């Protein structure tokens, strides 16, 4: 079944759009969000000092350097193992233009970072989270390109769950490191999903004509 025609995908797309619009309006209003305070207290209460080394690693994996290296590895894999040039191009464009979109959205939203002690160095604005958005884009697309060749539904589900957990941890790392509000992360996930949907739709429409296999 094609990703873009899945009922689950359509439902998630609607949810992502609603979340994106809601938090965009809420952030532009300038009022503090109770959601941020509640989730921040909950997350930082669970993940204390002992978790910082792990989340600093997650921070690096979601940085421009980390995303760049992992993207190149994935593109190399698509080339050597699959010979899927269309997938290589789509992944590269999704990541590169996704990064530019995130920067553009940050500048328009203009939301400052949380006024807390940052555990890692940050230079850009806060909304939406680049790590959450780029993590969703990169790793969800990697999951998609892995899953299109899997025959077992159980293995597909396992792959999907593991990748979702990985993406979630990347987003949580931004709250634990005190460099993002939870609303930044949530909106980053939502906007990243919409971006992935657009690029996978492009891939599936083009690959249909070229008789590529589908998820």
Contact 173, 62 (CB under 8 A): yes
Is residue 180 annotated as part of the catalytic site, yes or no? Answer: yes
Catalytic (active site) residue 118? no
The one catalytic residue among 39, 180, 181, 207: 180
> How many helices (H) and strands (E) in the chain?
8, 0
Tokens of residue 21, six digits: 């619009």
Give the Cα separation of 35 and 31 in Å (integer): 12
108 Ramachandran zone, left/alpha/beta (phi>0; psi -120 to 50): alpha
If DSSP codes are grouped into helix, strand and coil, which group holds residue 116? coil
Q: Terminal CA-to-CA distance of the chain, rounded, Å?
A: 5
Which residue out of 4, 106, 131, 174 is catalytically annotated?
131
Count CB neighbours of 121 within 10 A: 8
Catalytic residue IDs:
131, 180
């Amino acid at each position: 079944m094609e990703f873009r025609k899945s009922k689950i995908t359509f439902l998630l797309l609607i949810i992502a759009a609603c979340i994106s619009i809601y938090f965009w309006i809420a952030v532009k209003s300038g009022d503090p969000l109770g959601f941020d305070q509640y989730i921040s207290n909950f997350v930082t209460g669970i993940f204390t000092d002992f978790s910082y080394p792990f989340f600093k690693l997650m921070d690096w994996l979601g940085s421009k350097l980390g995303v760049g290296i992992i993207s190149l590895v994935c593109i190399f894999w698509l080339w050597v193992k699959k010979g899927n040039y269309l997938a290589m191009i789509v992944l590269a464009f999704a990541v590169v233009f996704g990064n530019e979109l995130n920067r553009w959205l940050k500048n328009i939203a203009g939301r400052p970072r949380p006024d807390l002690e940052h555990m890692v160095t940050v230079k850009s604005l806060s909304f939406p989270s680049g790590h959450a958005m780029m993590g969703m884009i990169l790793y969800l697309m990697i999951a998609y390109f892995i899953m299109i060749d899997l025959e077992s539904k159980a293995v597909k589900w396992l792959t999907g769950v593991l990748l979702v957990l990985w993406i979630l941890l990347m987003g949580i790392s931004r709250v634990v490191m005190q460099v993002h509000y939870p609303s930044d992360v949530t909106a980053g996930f939502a906007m990243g999903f919409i971006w992935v949907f657009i690029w996978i739709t492009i891939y599936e429409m083009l690959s249909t004509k070229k008789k590529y296999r589908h998820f």
